[in-house]
Amino acid sequence: MFRKLSAEFFGTFWLVFGGCGSALIAAGFPDIGIGFVGVALAFGLTVLTMAYAVGPISGGHFNPAVSLGLAIAGRFEYRHLVPYWIAQLAGGIVGAAILYLIVSGKSGFTAGGFASNGYDALSPDKYSMLAALLTEIVLTAAFLLVILGSTSKAAAAGFAPIAIGLCLTLIHLISIPVDNTSVNPARSIAAAIFAQNGALSQVWLFIVAPLIGGAVGAVIWRYLLAPGEAQDQVGRVE
């Protein structure tokens, strides 16, 4: 179990460090940076690379909502949920902390939003709380469907990380303007801790909505798209 939790720690560390780091360091550098398209790609690449690197050890969740969804779908044991959540949250916070130490080394640095998530005044394009809530639920549910489908027995072996990474990229392309994209409570909590714009007061939505979305996606997969599959796949996630 220690190896699995370590893999989840490092995978979530990389997701936060690489994804949020691209937003904080490269998105607007110096005047023409990678933009939000580049940030979306960076988040997808973090999951793709770590899914290949440590996915075979832990299943490559790197996200509490994914772990919950996989448990509901019958692909992951419920007794491992809390340890995985702790490892994911710890990895995300360490990633954000190291990122903070790096970016604060720039002259005139202010943390501001620190790539955190938000709605209303904290939304990049001033979307409402309801808009952010629906966005997070729908996109996390879709994310779980892609994860479950690409790792099913019927899927081509070895390509799941590519599908999952590209799906996360697409998710960011859709929702960065809405709420800066979460679909991952560990990522949201980690960034909000270091933000100086009041993001912690809104982080509840980016915990609750992805968990609901993950559960919805898992239920759709288990009972509508692949009924009966779960019984022989408990604990098996490529």
- pLDDT, residue 236, reads 46
Contact 75, 233 (CB under 8 A): yes
pLDDT band at 205 (very low <50, low <70, confident <90, very high): very high
Asked whether residue 237 carries a pLDDT value surpassing 70, the answer given is: no
Closest by CA position to 21, among listed 136, 29, 57 = 29
The residue written with tokens 């023409």 in the block is 32
Residue 66 binned pLDDT confidence (cut-offs 50, 70, 90): very high
Look up the CATH number of domain 2-232.
1.20.1080.10
117 SS3 class? coil
31-59: pLDDT as tens digits:
778 899 999 999 999 999 999 999 999 99
Task: Quote the pLDDT of residue 106.
Answer: 87
| Average pLDDT of the chain to the nearest whole number | 93
Structure-block tokens of residue 96: 């954000």
- Domain spans, the chain: 2-232
Higher pLDDT, 155 or 116: 116
The answer to whether the CB of 11 falls within 8 A of the CB of 62 is yes
pTM for the model? 0.92
Contacts of 227 (CB under 8 A, 6+ apart): none
Structure confidence at residue 154 (pLDDT): 83
Q: Distance between CA 142 and CA 148 in Å, rounded?
A: 10
Each residue's pLDDT tens digit, 120-170:
999 999 999 999 999 999 999 999 999 999 998 888 888 999 999 999 999
* pLDDT given at position 228: 64
